Structure 1
Amino acid sequence: MKIVYDYQIFNEQKYGGISRYICEVANRIAQIEGFDVKILACSYINKHLESVNPELVIGMQRQHIPKTKILIDKLNAQFSKFWLKSNKPSIIHETYYSTTRIAPKGSRTVVTVYDMIHEKFNFLLNNKLDRELTLSKIEATKRADHIICISNSTKQDLLEILDINPDKVSVIYLGHSLIHKSKIDWKLNIQSKPYILYVGQRAGYKNFERLLQAYASNQNIQRDFNLICCGANSFSTHELDLICKLGLNGNKVIHVTTDDQALVKLYREASVFIYPSLYEGFGLPLLEAMSLECPVVCSNTSSLPEVAGEAAEFFDPYSTESIANSLEKVLYSSERAKNLIKLGKQRVKAFSWEACAKQTCSLYRSLI
């Protein structure tokens, strides 16, 4: 059975969760007897492809997104059309959302829906690109022979918002990729005070501003713990103004940028990992924290209770008081923290890339 993953996401993300997911699954399915796997990346910028068996990748890597990206996208589409017509795969797994059919006649199509954030939070649709993304998602899901959702929460939202036949929707959970190395030579250039760890983007539905307000509202937590924010861009002017307005100096709320191995160290040494998001399609950082024995404190919304199970201290993400109270329960109770670590180590066993790949294989077979 010939499986092809298309080019879309690999010219959009240099790094990122979606491209990592595709690479992890493709690498593993290629090792299963009876599957001929190709990633039709074309002209791409993605770094995760470097971890994939080079025999699977068709394309050429560039270091940066050029000003002519629109032209390159068109060339990628034309090259893909020619290659697919000549090679006729059994299944095309679209890596993102396209308004037009990519698969040639006779090939079956699969698309993965990662979340319904734009549809749930209508304010995001004020942006033209976000509106186009939503329209593309509608077309891609209606056209697909089968849809994978990465959580039951995402599946439920998809079926509620779009007119989709539930029989063509399956849930396949993600795995996690951070490797726990015994020794990592990386030092955080801050005072040695214990810290709360936040990882990822911070805008909008990520609810970072309420986290700042909750942190500022509790003098004990402020005194005893820093707040370390890892990933994304440096603090914006708006964020810096809010930090100042809340009376939080730069020695308390700190932004750092790291690679994966330094992130492992941050998780491993954090007092808690906090995830205040209003909505997630899955919540991969929860599994990363659990796998590295870091207690998890997170929102009680969307897919997060589904993924975390009993291995998290939950809060209402719309309430700064609830956020602060949940932090206190874990930060000032070694018994609760140890219990969450124990529960997390068990919970994370339910999620692996091997299981994700095997379930995806079974789905592919069912379509032929």
Structure 2
Amino acid sequence: MRVLYDHQAFTLQDFGGVSRYHHELLCHANWQSELAVALSNNLYLRDRKYSAHRTFLPDVALRGRWRVIKHFNHRASVQALRRGTFDVFHPTLTDNDYFLDLLEDRPLVITLHDMIPALFPQYYTDRDGAMLERIARRANRIITVSEHTRADVLRLLPVAPEQVCVVHHGHADRDYSAGGPALPTPERYVLYTGSRALYKNFSCLLEGLALLPPAVAAGLHVVCAGGGAFTTAEQELLQRTGWAKRAHQFGPVSDAQLNTLYRNALAFVFPSEYEGFGLPILEAFGQQCPVLLSHASCFPEIAQEAALYHHPHQPAELAQQLERLLMDAPLRQDLIRMGQLRLLDFTWQQTARRTRAVYEAATQDINRPGLSLPVVPPIPALEL
């Protein structure tokens, strides 16, 4: 079986969850893969094992650099599609439908990591919802990364239930990047990672920290990894909550630095209102860091009993649960132990095996996909 992947995620991201997902598929593939990329500064492709690309001014802040990379990569992907030497096409993003007119009758598999633009349209006014519908109608199979995202897809897109299947992400303690210098972290801190904007609900964490009893909050700091410098609004909230002098932002950080931040944190707090999967949960489990999550979207599905939970809009409940976690040493050890057990259910080897089953099912389709598809054969069961 030959699977063609296009350039999109590896053009847009130098590092990040979506390109990392596709790189892990390439690493664990038990099928022939082609990655149509001509230029990329993506961290995961630096060994060039899966593409013959070149980097393009990776250390130069050149305006318009991204447009140059996109131009050459788009051409490379179009050429690969026209050659037709593949059995399945799997685009790395669904932000563009350029491939629909080039596929002819070849199977199309897409991965939908979340339905955030459809669920929070006020934040994504530039997104074309009709484009995603066109792609979804054409897809032979749709992979979602959680049951929660699958339910959203079936509710929001015109697709048949038989077309949509869940393949969870995996976890591996890879060190993709150079370690970098040790970060000047405080002795006692809770950790927040990634973007803090929009539905990420960072303000709930700050308001919750302000509600901690003084004895619990004494000497405690909050460390943010990635997500950019604190905005003016965040600085004002930090001042109002009294945490301005105890909040630290580092980023971007290497994978080695991020692992160290997880290992040394008293807790990892993820108050987001919505995630498609929540890969940082597995990252925290892997570094034996206790986890506190909002009880929202896919979080209970992924973490199950290996985390504490709070209502995403109740800072007082976040504070209560965080106090439990910080003050109860046996509870912390139980959460760490359960997190280690939970990781056994998430390996990239399993992700690759289930993904191959999706590809095989897609190649069995002889009808054009769409709502009028009479019967979609089920994905064969796997013995894991």
**TM-score with structure 1 setting the length:** 0.90
CA distance in 2, matches of 1:271, 1:176: 21
Partner of 1:84: 81
Partner of 1:277: 272
- Counterpart amino acid of residue 28 in structure 2: R
Q: CA deviation at 1:106?
A: 3.7
Partner of 2:137: 142
CA distance in 1, matches of 2:359, 2:155: 25
2:93 to 96, 99, 108: 96
Q: Deviations over 1:242-288 (max 9, x none)?
A: 111222232x1111222111111111111111110000000011111
CA distance in 2, matches of 1:320, 1:69: 40
Partner of 2:112: 113
Partner of 1:67: 64
Query: How has the CA–CA distance of structure 1 residues 112 and 20 changed in structure 2, closer, same or farther, with 3 Å as cutoff?
Result: same
1:19 aligns with 2:16: no
1:44 to 40, 44, 53: 40
The 10-residue stretch of structure 1 (158-167 or 67-76) with the greater mean CA deviation from structure 2: 67-76
Q: CA deviation at 1:9?
A: 1.2
Indicate the SS of the match to 1:278. Answer: coil
CA distance in 2, matches of 1:282, 1:51: 27
Q: Gaps (5+ residues) in structure 2?
A: 364-384
Do the aligned partners of 1:178 and 1:260 also contact (CA within 8 Å) in 2? no
Q: Deviations over 1:163-211 (max 9, x none)?
A: 111111110000123349xxx885332442x111111110011100111
- Counterpart amino acid of residue 256 in structure 2: Q
Q: Deviations over 1:118-146 (max 9, x none)?
A: 11123213x32xx23x3432222122111
Indicate the SS of the match to 1:42. Answer: coil
Do the aligned partners of 1:207 and 1:276 also contact (CA within 8 Å) in 2? yes
CA distance in 1, matches of 2:349, 2:300: 23
RMSD (CA atoms):
2.1
Aligned residue pairs total: 354
Query: How has the CA–CA distance of structure 1 residues 122 and 104 changed in structure 2, closer, same or farther, with 3 Å as cutoff?
Result: closer
Query: How has the CA–CA distance of structure 1 residues 185 and 90 changed in structure 2, closer, same or farther, with 3 Å as cutoff?
Result: closer
CA distance in 1, matches of 2:26, 2:185: 40
1:201 to 183, 195, 199: 195
1:255 to 249, 253, 256: 249
Indicate the SS of the match to 2:39. Answer: strand
Do the aligned partners of 1:99 and 1:135 also contact (CA within 8 Å) in 2? no
- Which has more helix, going by share of residues? 1
The 10-residue stretch of structure 1 (18-27 or 213-222) with the greater mean CA deviation from structure 2: 213-222
Indicate the SS of the match to 1:57. Answer: coil
2:342 to 347, 350, 356: 347
Q: Deviations over 1:269-323 (max 9, x none)?
A: 1111111000000001111111111111101110100000110001101101111
CA distance in 2, matches of 1:151, 1:46: 26
Q: CA deviation at 1:349?
A: 0.8
Query: How has the CA–CA distance of structure 1 residues 121 and 220 changed in structure 2, closer, same or farther, with 3 Å as cutoff?
Result: farther
**TM-score with structure 2 setting the length:** 0.87
The 10-residue stretch of structure 1 (101-110 or 40-49) with the greater mean CA deviation from structure 2: 101-110
CA distance in 2, matches of 1:24, 1:59: 18
1:158 aligns with 2:153: yes
CA distance in 1, matches of 2:15, 2:185: 27
Partner of 1:220: 215
Q: Gaps (5+ residues) in structure 1?
A: none
Do the aligned partners of 2:307 and 2:335 also contact (CA within 8 Å) in 1? yes
- Which has more strand, going by share of residues? 1
The 10-residue stretch of structure 1 (225-234 or 276-285) with the greater mean CA deviation from structure 2: 225-234
Do the aligned partners of 2:208 and 2:318 also contact (CA within 8 Å) in 1? yes
